[in-house]
């Protein structure tokens, strides 16, 4: 009787072991590993969010393992990528974030190290529909190749202003021309001196002057003006001198030196110490809730509305020759452009999504400043590129290093302009 009772148990155990052994014969494929190099490496809130969004790619793609090489800044991201290229290693994925145009991007394109994304776009209508038109327009080469895709659009060409300061200083109208802008600056300065409250009109960084320079050139009836309006940069000496003349007038109302950064600008504005804060609409979440801020476009010669709407250098994919890695990298870019991810980027970082299917106004509650600024920028009749797209890295660096000296009169206009060519 005992033997009869044991037999079914032994049989069941044997069957279970057989199933297990059979299962062991079917190995789960190892996930494809790709590495993404990016500059979202700090503890700032938007950096943390972007790293989380990147890592969540694995949930939708369990056959891919994403390794992040998180650098704390764009310059360090570029340096790390350059080091890999010098060592003969082609990175799988790099998020340039507007940096490295004349170094990483140019080198990889010229040496056939970057994947052309146009074939993938042509074969996938959904992917094509999620791309920003300005990305296609600006970055498609003469050979109809596309080597970079951005997941956000940069809307800028203006400044934030403190409504309370403007009202207290008696400013009744937002300036539309440079002449009106200087009048407003004088008005605010006179009020601040009378009240002895320490408020300044502006505290501009070198990068802020670069935006001003482009806008001053864009309104000129000159070769330089025509070039910028057609999305490229060409500096005529006379045109640059005219722009520098106006910048000197503005410089009188700005209390900052060449080492001043946008973070310093932000802090001064949030402390109620400056009336205006030069930044794109992405500055909205950095402004304190205690400041009654609104957005306005930079002035022009005759009141023309000019703004920047650009797709900067975004993701580039290494042409490694490994089909599985390349396919996984393309899937990652598609993921970043997908509607759910684009909604997360908008809601959690207040960046403008590249995917036009995401309606910013749908999320207006709690993001009123951001939406107001986006409306202002998009309503402009003339669009130019942001400085990162117009200027070479060398010229941009020389501008930012020398602008304070030339405005102080420590170097000549001729010497400064020559350094930009």
Sign of CA dihedral 308, 72, 256, 163: positive
Domains and CATH numbers, the chain: 32-155+311-366 (3.40.190.10), 156-308+382-419 (3.40.190.10)
For the stretch 347-383, pLDDT in tens is: 999 999 999 999 998 888 889 999 999 999 999 999 9
pLDDT at 26: 58
Structure confidence at residue 21 (pLDDT) = 45
pLDDT of residue 8: 45
Q: Could you tell me which residues are beta bridge partners of residue 24?
A: none
Given the DSSP bridges, would you call strands 32-38 and 93-95 parallel, antiparallel or unpaired?
Answer: parallel
* CA distance linking residue 93 with residue 331, whole number of Å: 11
pLDDT number for residue 6 = 40
State how far the Cα of 53 lies from the Cα of 151, in Å rounded to an integer: 12
Q: Which residues of the chain have pLDDT under 50?
A: 1-14, 16-21
From the number of C-beta atoms within 10 Å of its C-beta (0-12, 13-18, 19+), residue 165 rates as buried
Q: What is the pLDDT of residue 256?
A: 64
Note the pLDDT of residue 263: 80
Write out pLDDT tens, residues 168-185.
Answer: 999 999 999 999 999 999
Burial of 118 (0-12, 13-18, 19+ CB in 10 A): middle
Q: At what angle do helices 323-337 and 339-349 cross, to 10 degrees?
A: 60
- Give residue 252's pLDDT: 94
Q: What does residue 36 show for φ and ψ, rounded to 5 degrees?
A: -110, 120
Angle at 379 between CA 384 and CA 367, to 5 degrees: 105
* Spatial contact of 176 and 300, defined as CB atoms under 8 Å apart: yes
pLDDT, residue 46, reads: 93
Give the pLDDT score at 364. Answer: 84
CA–CA separation, 21 and 225 (whole Å): 75
Rounded Cα–Cα distance for residues 41 and 55 (Å):
13
């Amino acid at each position: 009787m005992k033997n009869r009772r044991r037999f079914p148990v032994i049989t069941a155990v044997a069957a279970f072991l057989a199933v297990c052994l059979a299962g062991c014969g079917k190995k789960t494929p190892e996930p494809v590993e790709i590495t993404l190099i990016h500059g979202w490496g700090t503890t700032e809130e938007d950096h943390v969010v972007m790293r989380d969004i990147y890592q969540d790619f694995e949930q939708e793609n369990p056959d891919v393992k994403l390794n992040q090489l998180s650098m704390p800044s764009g310059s360090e991201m570029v340096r790390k990528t350059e080091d890999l290229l010098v060592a003969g290693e082609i990175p799988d994925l790099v998020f340039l974030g507007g940096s490295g145009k004349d170094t990483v991007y140019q080198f990889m394109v010229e040496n056939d190290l970057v994947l052309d994304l146009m074939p993938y776009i042509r074969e996938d209508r959904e992917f094509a529909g999620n791309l920003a038109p300005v990305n296609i327009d600006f970055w498609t080469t003469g050979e109809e190749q596309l080597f970079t895709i951005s997941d956000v659009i940069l809307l800028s060409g203006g400044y934030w202003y403190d409504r309370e300061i403007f009202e207290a200083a008696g400013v009744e109208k937002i300036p539309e021309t440079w002449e009106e802008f200087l009048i407003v600056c004088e008005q605010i300065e006179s009020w601040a001196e009378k009240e002895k409250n320490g408020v300044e009109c502006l505290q501009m960084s070198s990068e802020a002057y670069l935006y001003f320079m482009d806008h001053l050139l864009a309104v000129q009836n000159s070769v330089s003006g025509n070039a910028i309006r057609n999305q490229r940069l060409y500096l005529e000496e006379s045109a640059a001198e005219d722009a520098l003349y106006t910048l000197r007038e503005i410089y009188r109302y700005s209390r900052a030196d060449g080492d001043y950064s946008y973070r310093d600008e932000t802090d001064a504005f949030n402390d109620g110490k400056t009336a205006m804060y030069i930044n794109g609409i992405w500055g909205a979440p950095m402004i304190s809730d205690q400041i009654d801020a609104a957005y306005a476009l930079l002035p022009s010669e005759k009141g023309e509305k000019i703004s920047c709407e650009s797709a900067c250098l975004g993701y580039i994919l290494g042409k490694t020759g490994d089909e599985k890695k390349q396919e996984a990298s393309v899937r990652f870019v598609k993921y970043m452009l997908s509607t759910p991810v684009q909604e997360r980027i908008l809601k959690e970082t207040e960046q403008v999504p590249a995917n036009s299917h995401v309606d910013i106004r749908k999320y207006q509650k709690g993001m009123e400043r951001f939406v107001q600024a986006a409306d202002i920028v998009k309503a402009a009749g003339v669009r130019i590129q942001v400085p990162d797209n117009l200027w070479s890295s060398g010229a941009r660096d020389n501008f930012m290093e020398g602008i304070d000296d030339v405005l102080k009169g420590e170097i000549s206009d001729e010497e400064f302009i020559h350094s930009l060519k």
